[in-house]
Structure formats: structure tokens, C-alpha cells
């Protein structure tokens, strides 16, 4: 198996509605139909004879040319392509060896009429191990799943190849760079907020994240800047907001949080200018420390950048 991947992509369904997918995945194969084409022609292709068989099957119906071209892709050096499909909520891909294997028993309910043997087995992860969830893929890629033909070459195959090889779209890379620069600028602006404005910013972040205040920020509850509730999660959180703080102060509030574990499910300690790195107790995942960089990231993601800008305008 070569480490170098093919530079073109083909889409395959492994049977109508993916009915042969379980056996294809388990056997590290690509399963196909075309029962109208004799096995001898599949193993030693004569494309003029194959085309006649396909056209005879279709008669005057449209699709004969497309079907023949798809079948030719499968028989004419299929190793020069990456083969991809969509199953189980993911995009899967493989490479194959040349040469069709005809189903010896002719039973096509669980297996295809013929199959190709994988060189690289089916995988739903990129070369570097990223899960290829359909929900995370561009629309130009996922619409490929709607094709009715058994094999097709979508216009988005270049995108598929890039995703499999963990290469970022140039426009997306440019946007990430610009967003990172903006986030750094927001971080610096947050440091210039007054304590009251910083408290209000944390209040806005919590509100847009699904947390509803039970008491007012900076209220009269001793040692608590805010109590917030997430109705969907049925949780109450203990929130402390500080312009500056050190590790000793964090430890003090963690102890207060633990003393009230009967009421609070989690603690959020927000500080934009900490004295050194603040570290919550090891293993205590219910304590979250929001330092300036994390707050800036939330500001950008939640669309609060203009609010911060206006406070310093």
C-alpha cells in the first residue's frame, strides 16, 4: 500500500440505500450491482460489449450513458481514485486494488454482483485522525449523498480530497487568521474595561450561553457575585467576576464553592488580568477558570465584540 493517495475521488453507494454497506465495510470491499453484465465481462472488460449490455438493459430510458461511464470508472484502473460514501453519520473513504471479484454464489441481497477489494480499508477519519462527521462537512460535499447513480464524480471531489488530507481551505485559513487577530485585539480591550463593565460583559456571555441570573451581579449575597441557572440542564452555578486575582483568591472561592456543593453544580471564576496562571484543583472539572483569552474567545463567538468596542470608544 502506497502512502501517497490518489488525486481524484469517486462516490459509491454500496447498493441501493447502502444495503451492502455492512458486508462491504466488514470485508474491506466496495460492493456493486450491474447484474445485467456477465461476470466474465467484468473480470476481463470489453467496454464495447459492456456498453451494449447496459444500453440493452435501459432500452429507451435515460441514464444509459451515465451508467456505463460509472461502471467504466469501477473497472478501468479503479486504484487511481479514492472511493467515498456516506454511512452511519459519517463520510467514509478507501482505496482499492484493480480487478473485479465476481460474487461466486450470485446471491445479491447481502452482497453485490461484484466487488473491489480495498487497498486502504474503509475509514471515517482523515489521514491525521479527525472524525469525518457529516454534520461537520461542507454542504457541497454532503449533497453528494443525494445522487441516485451508483457511482458519480461530484464537483466537490477536490474538497473531499482536501478534507481527507487535513488541508484547510485557503479562504477559511484566511478567516481563521483574521479572527485570531481580532480575538487578540478584543483581549487587550477587555483589560481596559472598568470592573462594572467587565461584570456586565460576563453577565452577557452567561445570558447568551443559556444561563439566567437568579441574583444580580455584585449583589448582596456574601462571597457570590452571581448565581445563575441553566433551566435545560437543571443546574445552578456559582460565578465570581474579578478584574484581577491570584491563585490564593481562586483557592478561597473554590473552598466556598465546595462548601455549597448541595446548591451549586459548577463554579465559574472569571478574571481578565490574573496574577500568574490560575489553576483549578486537579480533577475538579466542575470549576471553570475564565481568564482573559477565554473570555475574548467567547466574546468573538457570541457576537459581543462591538459591545466591548463601544465601552472603550
In terms of pTM, does the model score above 0.95? Answer: no
Rounded mean pLDDT of the chain? 87
Which of 55-69, 172-186, 244-258, 279-293 is least confident?
A: 55-69
Neighbours of 1 (CB within 10 A): 9
**What average pLDDT does range 111-128 have in this prediction?**
94
Question: For the chain, what are the domain ranges?
Answer: 9-164, 172-312
Which phi and psi (to 5°) does residue 198 adopt? -65, -40
Q: How confident is the model at residue 151, as a pLDDT?
A: 54
Q: Is the pLDDT of residue 154 over 70?
A: no
CATH architecture, domain defined by 172-312 = 3-Layer(aba) Sandwich (3.40)
33 burial type by CB count under 10 A (0-12 exposed, 13-18 middle, 19+ buried): middle
Best mean pLDDT range from 148-152, 201-205, 220-224: 201-205
Kindly give the interhelix angle for 47-58 and 64-75, rounded to the nearest 10 degrees.
Answer: 140
Neighbours of 121 (CB within 10 A): 16
HSE-up (13 A, CA, CB side) for residue 44: 1
Q: How confident is the model at residue 274, as a pLDDT?
A: 94
Three-class SS state of 158: helix
Best mean pLDDT range from 55-59, 78-82, 221-225: 78-82
> Which element (helix H / strand E) includes 113?
none
Amino acid at each position: 500500500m502506497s502512502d501517497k493517495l490518489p488525486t481524484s475521488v469517486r462516490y459509491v453507494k454500496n447498493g441501493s440505500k447502502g444495503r451492502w454497506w455492512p458486508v462491504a465495510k466488514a470485508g474491506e470491499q466496495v460492493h456493486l450491482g450491474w447484474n445485467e453484465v456477465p461476470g466474465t465481462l467484468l473480470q476481463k472488460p470489453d467496454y464495447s460489449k459492456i456498453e451494449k449490455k447496459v444500453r440493452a438493459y435501459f432500452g429507451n430510458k435515460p441514464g444509459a450513458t451515465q451508467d456505463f461511464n460509472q461502471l467504466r470508472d469501477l473497472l478501468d484502473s479503479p486504484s487511481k481514485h479514492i472511493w467515498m460514501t456516506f454511512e452511519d453519520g459519517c463520510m467514509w473513504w478507501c482505496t482499492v486494488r484493480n480487478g473485479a471479484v465476481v460474487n461466486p454464489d450470485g446471491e445479491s441481497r447481502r452482497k453485490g454482483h461484484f466487488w473491489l477489494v480495498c487497498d486502504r480499508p474503509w475509514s471515517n477519519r482523515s489521514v491525521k485522525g479527525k472524525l469525518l462527521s457529516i454534520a461537520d462537512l461542507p454542504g457541497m460535499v454532503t449533497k453528494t449523498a443525494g445522487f441516485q447513480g451508483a457511482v458519480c464524480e461530484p464537483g466537490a471531489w477536490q474538497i473531499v480530497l482536501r478534507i481527507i488530507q487535513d488541508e484547510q481551505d485557503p479562504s477559511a485559513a484566511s478567516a481563521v487568521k483574521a479572527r485570531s487577530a481580532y480575538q487578540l485585539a478584543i483581549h487587550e480591550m477587555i483589560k481596559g474595561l472598568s470592573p462594572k463593565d467587565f461584570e456586565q460583559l460576563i453577565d452577557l456571555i452567561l445570558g447568551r450561553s443559556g444561563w439566567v441570573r437568579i441574583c444580580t451581579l455584585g449583589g448582596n449575597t456574601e462571597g457570590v457575585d452571581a448565581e445563575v441557572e441553566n433551566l435545560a440542564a437543571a443546574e445552578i452555578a456559582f460565578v465570581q467576576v474579578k478584574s484581577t486575582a491570584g491563585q490564593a483568591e481562586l483557592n478561597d472561592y473554590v473552598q466556598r464553592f465546595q462548601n455549597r456543593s448541595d446548591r451549586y453544580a459548577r463554579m465559574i471564576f472569571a478574571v481578565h488580568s490574573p496574577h500568574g496562571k490560575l489553576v483549578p484543583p486537579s480533577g475538579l472539572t466542575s470549576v471553570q477558570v475564565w481568564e482573559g483569552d477565554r473570555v475574548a474567545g467567547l466574546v468573538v463567538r457570541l457576537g459581543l465584540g462591538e459591545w466591548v468596542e463601544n465601552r472603550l470608544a
